[in-house]
Amino acid sequence: MINCPHCGASNKDGSKFCGDCGQPLITRNGVTCPMCDNLNPPGVTACTQCGARLIPVSVTPSEEPLEPLEMEEEGAVVKGVEGDDTVPEPDDLGEAESLEEFAKVSEAEPEDAMPPWLEKLRELPSEEAASEEEATRLAPGELPDWLEIPPEFEEVLSEAGRAVEEEEVSRAEIPSWLEALRPAEDGVAEPGEPAGPPERTGLLKGIRGTLGIEPILAIPPRAASLPAFSAPPYAYEHAEVFDKVVREPARPSAEVVRPRRLETLVASTLRWIIYLIVATAVVVPILLGSNWAEANMPVTASTIAMYDAIEALPADSVVLVSHDYDPGVAGEMIPQAKAVVGHLMRRQVRLINVSLTPEGARLSREVLDELAEAHGYEYGDDYLSLGYVVGVEAGPRSIAEGFGGAGWTDFVDGIEDVALIVEFAGATEYVRLWLEQVQAPYGVPMVAGVSATADPFVRPYYRNQAQDQLLGLMTGLVGAAEYERRAGHPGLALASMDSQSVVHIAIVLLVLVGNLAYFGGRLRGK
């Protein structure tokens, strides 16, 4: 327990302020003596340095008005004590031989009985002593003898005073903001000073007008100022559903995590049936070697536009081909690259190949080597590969700048000599990089072959016919098959289309059957 040094109330250990009077209890883990500022350990009642009492004596004032003390007899008031008479002499002890024995004897005596040495203290001062005291009382402005300045120091002090006057030391002007911080004395606030009692403790001690914590916490929320809330009916319905879900008691986990053995067997069997159907739809057309799509597959306008853009290239023009894909989409992108690069080589254009993905450089090399051997292309003369280019946004821009400034190849003197950019992108961001960093700033024509996943995000660039952002676009394995059919050079993509078509039909049927079974089950449940 910690006793408050101001009001004496008991407070919990560790308390910093008194719970009754609010005054600080401890300072730097102790109690500061109000007399000598000595830091005392917590819990002490008297200062360890000066002995001052740290806990004030609580006195309950009487409700009745105090009356002046009655002077029953002279000597009731102790005016002064003569030093020689204050200590009891051995003769005053009476019959007692020692102080201890005298104390015992005194306790046995009645209360009104006083020892002789104490009776001496009741003597009133004599008239001579009173007149002497009157004579020694100082008049206002006078100093006692012991405070009088010795003559030898008067000269030194007068010289110091003259030096101050010569230096014309004036009182410093205190700015208004600093004056506002001047600790105020207790009492009435000065004019222009904030109202309210001054702070008594802490860093703000003596400053008026500080904002207390209690008023802030006591401010009630202004709920009345909020606008009236209204929501559409469906919002209330949704809220009711949410409320119902939240309030619904949780079911025991045993009921949730333990499906019946029959259901598990049925689900596993159905999954294997789906696997079997998809595998059959893929494998059977391959083994049969069907070529229905080769003769009947339509070609979309975007693929035709891409083919036409390449077909329009003059011989010996330079085309920049970027292979930005990884093994995850290689099944779609490599057939595209084979179809388009084969067409470019048949057009006898020179190819500069790059890649914004590390894997793309490796995968494209197989395509280039195979097609270069088939079309008689020589590395360095007819085509070359700059490999992997790092830098995300800076990658395509560095390629465009590097053609002119860094002289990466003697195929072109600058990006303006590139007749067409052919982009193979497994993800949307690669098309966007080339469009934003090269096509738009330098105005180089561009076509793209993208994965099926990226198509919905890239197609708006192809549709922008006003600015010709993408002259042509082909999508996925289907796009590669369309290109092969348009070019009249059937390959792996076109051969895969029968399997792709059968799998698509199988998936559509499975989705229909699954939905029918689901809705049928719901109808039976009702």
Partner 1 sequence: MSEVFTVWIAAILTLTVYSYLLADNPLYRLAEHLFVGSSVGYVAVVILHNILRPRLLEPLAQDAGVSWPYVIPLLLGLLLLTKARTSIAWLGNSSVAFLFGVGAALAIGGALLGSLLPQIQASWVSISPATAGSVEAAVDNVCLAVGTIGTLAYFYFTMGSGGGPRNALIRFWATVGKWVMLITFGAIFGNRIMGYVSLLIERAYFLLGDWLGLVG
Note the residues at the interface with partner 1 (CB under 8 A). Answer: 229-232, 275, 278, 282-283, 286-287, 289, 328-332, 358-359, 361-362, 387-388, 390, 392-394, 397, 432-433, 435-437, 439-441, 451-453, 455-456, 460-461, 463-467, 469, 475-478, 492, 496, 499-500, 503-504, 507
Q: How far is the CB of 343 from partner 1 (least distance, A)?
A: 20
Facing residues of 384 across strands?
352
Q: How far is the CB of 216 from partner 1 (least distance, A)?
A: 31
Phi and psi (nearest 5°) for 48? -75, -10
Q: Which residue has the tokens 């702070």?
A: 199
Given a contact cutoff of 8 angstroms between Cβ atoms, the answer to whether 287 and 319 are in contact is no
Which residue, among 377, 399, 383, has the nearest Cα to 350 in the 3D structure?
A: 383
Report strand pairing: 383-388 vs 350-355.
Answer: parallel
Nearer to partner 1, 25 or 450 (CB): 450
Given a contact cutoff of 8 angstroms between Cβ atoms, the answer to whether 490 and 475 are in contact is no
The SS3 of residue 249 is coil
Residue 23, token pair as written in the block: 């005054």
Nearer to partner 1, 35 or 394 (CB): 394
Which residue type does 452 have?
A
Nearer to partner 1, 102 or 408 (CB): 408
Phi and psi (nearest 5°) for 31? -110, 125
Nearer to partner 1, 209 or 331 (CB): 331
Residue 98, token pair as written in the block: 């020692």
Facing residues of 322 across strands?
354, 423
Burial of 208 (0-12, 13-18, 19+ CB in 10 A): middle
Nearer to partner 1, 294 or 436 (CB): 436
Q: How far is the CB of 478 from partner 1 (least distance, A)?
A: 7
Nearer to partner 1, 102 or 403 (CB): 403
Q: Which residue has the tokens 């104490």?
A: 118
d(CA 12, CA 29): 14
DSSP 450: E
Q: How far is the CB of 5 from partner 1 (least distance, A)?
A: 48
Residue 49, Cα to own-chain centre: how many angstroms? Answer: 50
Nearer to partner 1, 322 or 500 (CB): 500
Nearer to partner 1, 193 or 294 (CB): 294
Nearer to partner 1, 153 or 234 (CB): 234
Q: How far is the CB of 308 from partner 1 (least distance, A)?
A: 18
Nearer to partner 1, 78 or 512 (CB): 512
d(CA 442, CA 429): 19
Q: How far is the CB of 275 from partner 1 (least distance, A)?
A: 6
The SS3 of residue 501 is helix
Residue 133, token pair as written in the block: 């005291």
d(CA 6, CA 201): 12
DSSP 259: -
Cβ of 342: how many Cβ atoms within 10 Å? 20
The DSSP-derived string for 90-117 is GGGGTT-SSHHHHHHHHHHS-TT---HH
Residue 91, token pair as written in the block: 């003769």
Residue partners of 379: CB distance under 8 A and separation at least 6? 372, 385
Q: How far is the CB of 398 from partner 1 (least distance, A)?
A: 10
Q: How far is the CB of 493 from partner 1 (least distance, A)?
A: 9
Q: How far is the CB of 273 from partner 1 (least distance, A)?
A: 13
Nearer to partner 1, 163 or 452 (CB): 452
Nearer to partner 1, 351 or 454 (CB): 454
Q: How far is the CB of 480 from partner 1 (least distance, A)?
A: 9
Q: How far is the CB of 315 from partner 1 (least distance, A)?
A: 30
d(CA 352, CA 380): 10
Q: How far is the CB of 401 from partner 1 (least distance, A)?
A: 12
d(CA 99, CA 87): 12
